[in-house]
Structure 1
Amino acid sequence: MDLSGKRLVVTGGAGLIGSVLAERLADDNDVLVVDDLSNGVSESVPDAATFMEGDLTDPAVVADVITPDVDAVFHLAAADKYVDTDEPREQFETNSRMTHTILERMQEVGVSNVAFTSSCTVYGEAGEPTPETYGPLEPISVYGATKLGEEALLSVYGHTHDFTVWTFRFANIVGPRFGAGVVPDFVEKLTEDPETLTILGNGKQTKSYMHVTECVDAMCHVVEHTDEPVNTFNLATQSTTSVDRIADIVSEEMGLDPDYEYTGGERGWEGDVSTVLLPIDELLNLGWENELSSDESVRKVARQLIDRQE
């Protein structure tokens, strides 16, 4: 799909990834950002995009947003994964209802292109490399379960209702805008207490960290170069970083040498997958490649966050 001269809807476009995607798309397209601001801030929405605050589980709001002249929907809105242990039923039902409502409206008005941000959490605790064909998919968190359920629903629309679906299974995406994550968490903790850093788990959790600008670039590349009914891609770097290494990088960038304290255990929180190995061969075969390693992505974001404080 050519991403120029189109009318596009970005749900969750006030969040960490959605705001950067909206900014990228707004260069050559008419972009409408829709967000309830539960996980985003309106200041992150680019000036070149139109912004609407609204609850996308409400069919009336979705009807206002998705009209027959829309060419594609980039669906990033979701109840945050960090509420997993607080309101698991609400999270599952909210995400599932929102995605189903959007798809029903798209079918009703003849809009058939949708890009969806899933997560590597759908793979569960595999303990081995997980290409897009890996199975069985056995998530260990409600967040992963709801993403897998939404993927299944999107598959139905791709194979049965003539939709073109792009599904992106993210690694950890890092950036300097609003959004939870280990890098801003460490920067904030060390700003408050330069002497001691509390690390969730044992610090050995190891995952890929991808800078948000590269994530958005990869998403656009995939949408522009694939057109199967369902196109599923891992988005990650070709390297990984441990939580201890992130602590080292953030400390180095802040010019500090804190003592590390650990909460213990292999997981940082309930449902956390301690080791994620996400191959991106399909993405590489499509002609896209990272410029930043996982460590470099972490360091770039740490520097951006620190500079913003100064």
Structure 2
Amino acid sequence: MKVLVTGAAGFIGSHLCEELLRNKDVEKVVGIDFFIGPTPPKMKKDFLLHVSENPKFEFIRDNLLTMPLENIISRVDAVYHLAAIPGVRSSWGDDFKHYIDYNILATQRLLEACKNLNIKKFIYASTSSIYGEKYGAVSEDQLPEPLSPYGITKLAGEHLCRVYEKYFGLPVVILRFFTVYGPRQRPDMAFHRFIRQLLKNEPVTIFGDGKQSRDFTFISDCARATASVLNSDKAVGQTINIGGKERASVLEVLDVLEEITDLKAKRIFLEQPAGEPKHTWASISKAKKLLDYNPVTGLKEGLKQECLYLIKFYRDDAK
């Protein structure tokens, strides 16, 4: 099977490419990335070092909004669409136009290129941000009520997938990721920022009171679940939550990071930004049933791995 991954140089995308390349049934992975968004291009290039020498991997640096797509898609059997502009806080104001371009228009353009080709699966990477403020474990059938412009654009992408499924028979699978963390996490995300601030002896900035909790999903669990869609015919037509093994508050996470690094954080509390729910919690019963998904990495172990990665990254970056 030949697979296309958009956003291949991103946090989740680069790990997904590695996971797919380990699959003996995958003979080719074509990755596309335009090196935009909050992760610096140098970091994204480093992310690809793990796959760039694999003879089964082909990388294309180009823009989904302008590049010819049909010739590439005609060479593959499945499409993973991860490319997007991420982030809740930066989706307000003038930057929203970039979210429209890369989260909605690029998705529509990719779907147009796929609609008349023999694609076996079109897997769309969505987000827990589409749910908004919910209480308890959230199942996929609950009403989406996004709180941010970012969440709205990702939900728009889901709706686009469904209309192309309805009218052109595109075999769509939608995955909703819940707060993914681990090595290669984006520098604007909380764990990466906390660890960087601790290592540099800077004040650790916390948005809100720190009591907000998240369903944290370790990157290797997320990548395995995402890759497993390729071999699950039962997943076609479904929307599936991908959550983690443990939930915790931001303050609890910071306590664990202090323990791991043996460093004490000077905590500074900032105003709670608009658009972020107080709590997230994924029901993953559907993922267990359809994908045989069982997250295995606990929060402390996952944070250790991210710390080790960032200690090395910033040490090497300083040379």
Task: Give TM-score, length-normalised by structure 2.
Answer: 0.87
The unaligned stretches of length 5 or more in structure 1 are 1-5
1:168-226 superposed Cα distances (whole Å, 9 cap, x missing partner): 101011121151311110111112226x4221211111001111111010112233223
Task: Tell me what 1:292 maps to.
Answer: 297
Task: Tell me what 2:6 maps to.
Answer: 11
Does the 8 Å contact 2:215/2:280 carry over to 1?
yes
- Separation in 2 of the partners of 1:217 and 1:229? 17
1:58-100 superposed Cα distances (whole Å, 9 cap, x missing partner): 1x4323432x231011100001225312412331243111001
Identity of aligned residues (%): 25
The unaligned stretches of length 5 or more in structure 2 are none
User: Which has the larger displacement, 292-301 or 282-291?
Assistant: 292-301
Matches within 5 A, 1:1-310: 6-27=1-22, 28-39=26-37, 41-45=44-48, 46-47=51-52, 48=54, 49-58=57-66, 60-66=67-73, 68-81=74-87, 82-86=89-93, 87-135=95-143, 137-177=144-184, 179=186, 180-193=188-201, 196-227=203-234, 229-264=236-271, 267=272, 269-286=273-290, 287-309=292-314
Does the 8 Å contact 1:25/1:31 carry over to 2?
yes
- Separation in 2 of the partners of 1:294 and 1:253? 12
- Separation in 1 of the partners of 2:243 and 2:219? 10
- Separation in 2 of the partners of 1:89 and 1:37? 18
Which AA in structure 2 matches 1:177?
A: R
1:265-308 superposed Cα distances (whole Å, 9 cap, x missing partner): xx3x2211221111111112232211123444334323332344
Does the 8 Å contact 1:240/1:295 carry over to 2?
no
Cα 1:54–1:178 shift into 2, 3 Å: farther
Matched position secondary structure for 2:124: strand
Does the 8 Å contact 2:199/2:311 carry over to 1?
no
Stretches (4+) displaced over 3 A: 226-229, 307-310
Does the 8 Å contact 1:169/1:233 carry over to 2?
yes
Cα 1:112–1:224 shift into 2, 3 Å: closer
Cα 1:106–1:163 shift into 2, 3 Å: same
Q: Alpha carbon RMSD of aligned pairs, Å?
A: 1.9
Does the 8 Å contact 1:238/1:279 carry over to 2?
no
- Separation in 2 of the partners of 1:295 and 1:231? 32
1:31-54 superposed Cα distances (whole Å, 9 cap, x missing partner): 111000013512312122211111
- Separation in 2 of the partners of 1:77 and 1:83? 17
